[in-house]
């Protein structure tokens, strides 16, 4: 993809966030979409491309009255929206569509109009993982971590520190679900979920949504908000079964996706001013920092403990509070993208002064997939 | 509540038939000898369909795990480990560890394990692992 040929011109989250028992899943998509259109000064008639996950792009398009020339239903978990941005950039460059809407909406907490969980017992996961007692992500996403901890001498305190520092960021964000300060002791004394993971090392479960609108860079200046350009992108998929990861101490999908995005963007790690790493659980920022190449394998725990990712640090990370403290409806990647866009627009609650390059890195499933988008506000 | 059990497909039937007989069956590439799991009728490294089923040693080491403190209804009421073992032949597989307390002190990474089978129905026995006796 040509650098900076496509820009985000509309970005918004749902009007409310957290507990929204009066809005269904499709309603959350629509609320976010209408907010993003208002942000860009557009109506559904101006949109000619749609992308979403969780629901079908068919449902989305018809609900909003959009008759698109482009539809992307890529659904690989919570990072699907990073892939949607990547595919939209390519589609706009190819002329498949001019103005593409990407939406997310999920009634993760209230479960209004939401489908059920579950895997077919004849799927590979149904045959070779579910019989052994996993209960969703807290008992699956976490399974490789003891091997990572043994390999690199990572402690439960190190996991807790990730949650503590993200709560410090959340305290600056009026929309964050949890804002009260916590200590390592608080985290290590919170209820046990799946040893070594305690409740405060696990993401929230909330309702919400978000939407993005992308168009070509040459049109972007005509929109009301500061354009946020797509500088580089990456994606990969690894395994539907966490027990079959290629390496329990590293995400192969992260490495492939991140390397491609940095190669596309033509930037060095030291050029990055702001970073989002999808944190469904406290180990994700550790894996992410290492697999994206910001630090060497095993170094992320010290990098975080030394406050490099905290307020005032050299690599501000998860500045909205992250999935651990801001919100997590189930497919959090959209909120990581939204925070990157806010940082590039200069409108974030915890704004990083002078930030010019932001990386939003997502994970899908339980280390199943990955997507990376590098944004800039300079063309 | 009855245990959640697998539904075999044509590509995996041999594995579950083997488990019912008390045998842990893997597959390997006949040319390279490399073993793989879960079952599929080709080698995931090379794409070769020239593969065979063989009986694994049943020996493994404890590779990683969590101890689930919010038991699934079919799994009883006590915390239990959801484990991944690394088989002697190379592949990893998810399982439960039996014959051993479900505690961090008792479940030490890299401890040697051996397969045992527990029958849940006429067609399904699940492969579990216990601390190696030898």
CB atoms within 10 A of CB B108: 10
What secondary structure letter does DSSP report for B73? G
What does the alpha-carbon distance between residue A157 and residue A166 come to, in Å, rounded to a whole number?
A: 14
Looking at A70, A148, A287, A326, which residue is catalytic? Answer: A326
Structure tokens at B131: 């601390």
The tokens describing B101, both together, are: 């307390």
**Are A148 and A287 in contact, with CB atoms under 8 Å apart?**
yes
Query: A1 falls in which pLDDT band (50, 70, 90)?
Result: low
Q: Residue A111: what pLDDT?
A: 87
State the distance between the two ends of chain B, measured CA to CA, in whole angstroms. 35
Say how far apart CA A5 and CA B44 lie, in whole Å.
38
Task: Give the model confidence (pLDDT) of A34-44 as tens digits.
Answer: 999 999 999 99
Radius of gyration of the CA atoms of chain B, in A: 15
Q: Distance between CA atoms of A244 and A289, rounded to whole angstroms?
A: 22
Tokens, residue A106? 């999920």
Distance from the Cα of A342 to chain B's closest Cα (Å) equals 37
- A238 has a chain B CB within 8 A of its CB: no
pLDDT band at A369 (very low <50, low <70, confident <90, very high): very high
Residue percentage of chain A with pLDDT more than 90: 93
Q: What 3-state DSSP class applies to B19?
A: helix
Name the average pLDDT for chain A.
96
| C-alpha neighbours within 13 Å on the C-beta side of residue A227 | 19
Are the C-beta atoms of residues A232 and A265 closer than 8 Å to each other?
yes
User: What percent of chain A stands above pLDDT 70?
Assistant: 99
For residue A154, pLDDT beyond 80: yes
pLDDT of residue A288: 98
- Structure tokens given for A190: 């919170």
How many Cβ pairs within 8 Å bridge chains A and B? 110
Burial class (CB in 10 A: 0-12, 13-18, 19+), B9: middle
Tell me what pLDDT residue A198 has: 98
Instruction: Indicate whether A119 pLDDT > 80.
Output: no
To probe the interface with A, which of B69, B86, B93, B98 has the most A CB atoms within 10 Å? Answer: B69
- C-alpha–C-alpha distance, residues A69 and A49, integer Å: 6
pLDDT for A18-29, tens place per residue? 999 999 999 999
Contacts of B63 in chain A (CB under 8 A): 147, 248
pLDDT in tens, B73-123: 999 999 999 999 999 999 999 999 999 999 999 999 999 999 999 999 999
pLDDT at residue A356, as a whole number: 98
User: What's the average model confidence in pLDDT over A114-140?
Assistant: 87
Q: Which residues contact B37 (CB under 8 A, 6 or more apart)?
A: A128, A244, B26, B27, B87, B91, B92, B93
Kindly tell me if the per-residue pLDDT of A361 is higher than 90: yes
Whether the pLDDT of residue A115 is over 80: the answer is no
Contact B130, B117 (CB under 8 A): no
Structure tokens at B108: 């030490």
Widest Cα–Cα separation across chain B: 47
End-to-end CA gap in chain A: 15
CA distance B134 to chain A (A): 25
Of A122, A142, A144, the CB nearest to B7: A122
Q: Does residue B9 register a pLDDT over 90?
A: yes
What's the 3-state SS for chain A? Answer: CCCCCEEEEEEEECCCCECCCCCCHHHHHHHHHHHHHHHHCCCHHHCCEEEECCCCHHHHHHHHCCCCCEEECCCCCCCHHHHHHHHHHHHHHHCCCCEEEEEEEEECCCCCCCCCCCCCCCCHHHHHCHHHCCCCHHHCCCCCHHHHHHHHCCCHHHHHHHHHHHHHHHCCCCCCCCCCCCCHHHHHCCCEEEECEEHHHECCCCEEEEEEEEEEHHHHCCCCCCCEEEEEEEEEECCCCHHHCCCCCCCHHHHHHHHHHHHHHCCCHHHCCEEEECCCECCHHHHHHHHCCCCCCCCHHHHHHCCCCCCCCCCCECCCCHHHHCCCCCCCHHHHHHHHHHHHHCCCCCCCCCCCEEEEEEEECCCCEEEEEEEECCC
Q: What mean pLDDT is predicted for residues A236-240?
A: 97
What is the pLDDT, as a whole number, of residue A118?
63
pLDDT of A116 above 70: no
The residues pairing with B53 across neighbouring beta strands, listed in sequence order, are: B27
Q: What is the pLDDT of residues B19-78, one digit of tens each?
A: 999 999 999 999 999 999 999 999 999 999 999 999 999 999 999 999 999 999 999 999
What pLDDT score does A120 carry?
85
A152 at B interface, C-beta within 8 A: no
Q: What distance in Å separates the CA atoms of residue A316 and residue A307, rounded to the nearest whole number?
A: 9
Phi, psi (degrees; rounded to nearest 5) at A25? -55, -50
Give the ipTM. 0.93
A1 touches chain B (CB under 8 A): no
Strand, helix or coil at B111? coil
Instruction: Evaluate if residue A71 carries a pLDDT over 90.
Output: yes
| Whether A326 is catalytic | yes
pLDDT, residue A161, reads 98
Which residues of chain A neighbour B5 with C-beta distances below 8 Å? Answer: 121, 131
Does B90 reach chain A within 8 Å, measured CB to CB?
no
For B63, list phi and psi in degrees, rounded to 5. Answer: -95, -45
Contact at 8 Å (CB) between A188 and A156? yes
- Are the C-beta atoms of residues A375 and A357 closer than 8 Å to each other? yes
Task: Give the model confidence (pLDDT) of A262-271 as tens digits.
Answer: 999 999 999 9
Neighbour count for residue B76 (Cβ, 10 Å): 12
Taking every pair of C-alpha atoms in chain A, what is the biggest distance, in angstroms? 56
């Amino acid at each position: 993809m040509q650098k900076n040929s496509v820009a985000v011109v509309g970005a918004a989250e749902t009007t409310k966030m957290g507990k929204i028992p009066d809005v269904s899943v499709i309603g959350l998509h629509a609320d976010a979409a209408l907010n993003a259109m208002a942000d860009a000064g557009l109506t559904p008639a101006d949109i000619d491309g749609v992308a979403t996950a969780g629901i079908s792009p068919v449902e989305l398009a018809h609900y909003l009255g959009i008759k698109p020339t482009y539809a992307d239903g890529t659904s690989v978990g919570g990072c699907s929206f990073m892939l949607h941005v990547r595919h939209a950039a390519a589609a706009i460059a190819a002329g498949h569509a001019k103005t593409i809407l990407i939406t997310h909406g999920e009634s993760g907490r209230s479960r209004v109009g939401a489908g059920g969980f579950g895997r077919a017992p004849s799927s590979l996961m149904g045959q070779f993982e579910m019989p052994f007692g996993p209960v969703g992500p807290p008992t699956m996403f976490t399974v490789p971590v003891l091997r990572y901890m043994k390999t690199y001498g990572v402690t439960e305190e190190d996991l807790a520190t990730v949650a503590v520092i993200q709560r410090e960021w959340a305290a600056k964000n009026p929309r964050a679900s949890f804002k009260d300060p916590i200590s390592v002791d608080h985290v290590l004394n919170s209820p046990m979920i799946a040893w070594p993971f305690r409740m405060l090392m696990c993401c929230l479960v909330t309702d919400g949504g978000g939407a993005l609108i992308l168009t070509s860079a040459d049109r972007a200046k005509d929109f009301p908000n500061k354009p946020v350009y797509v500088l580089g992108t990456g994606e990969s998929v690894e395994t539907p079964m966490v027990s079959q990861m290629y390496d329990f101490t590293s995400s192969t999908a992260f490495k492939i996706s991140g390397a491609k995005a940095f190669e596309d963007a033509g930037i060095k790690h030291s050029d990055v001013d702001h970073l989002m790493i999808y944190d469904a659980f406290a180990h994700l920022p550790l894996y992410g920092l290492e697999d994206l190449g910001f630090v060497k394998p095993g170094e992320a725990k010290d990098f975080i403990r030394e406050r490099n990712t905290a307020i005032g640090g050299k690599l501000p990370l998860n500045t909205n509070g992250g999935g651990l403290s801001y919100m997590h409806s189930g497919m959090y990647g959209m909120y990581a993208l939204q925070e990157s866009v806010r940082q590039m627009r200069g409108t974030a609650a915890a704004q990083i002064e002078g930030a010019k390059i932001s990386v939003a890195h997502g994970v899908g499933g339980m280390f199943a997939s990955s997507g990376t988008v590098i944004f800039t506000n300079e063309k | 509540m009855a245990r959640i059990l697998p539904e075999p497909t044509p590509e995996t039937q041999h594995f579950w038939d083997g488990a019912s007989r008390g045998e842990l069956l893997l597959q390997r590439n006949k040319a390279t000898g490399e073993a793989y799991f879960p079952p599929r009728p080709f080698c995931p490294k090379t794409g070769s369909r020239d593969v065979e089923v063989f009986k694994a040693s049943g020996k493994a080491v404890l590779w990683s795990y969590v101890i689930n403190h919010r038991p699934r209804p079919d799994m009883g009421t006590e915390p239990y480990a959801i484990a991944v073992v690394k088989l002697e032949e190379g592949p990893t597989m998810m399982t439960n560890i039996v014959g051993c307390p479900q505690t961090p002190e008792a479940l030490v990474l890299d401890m040697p394990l051996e397969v045992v089978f527990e029958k849940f129905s006429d067609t399904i026995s699940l492969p579990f692992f216990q601390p190696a006796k030898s």
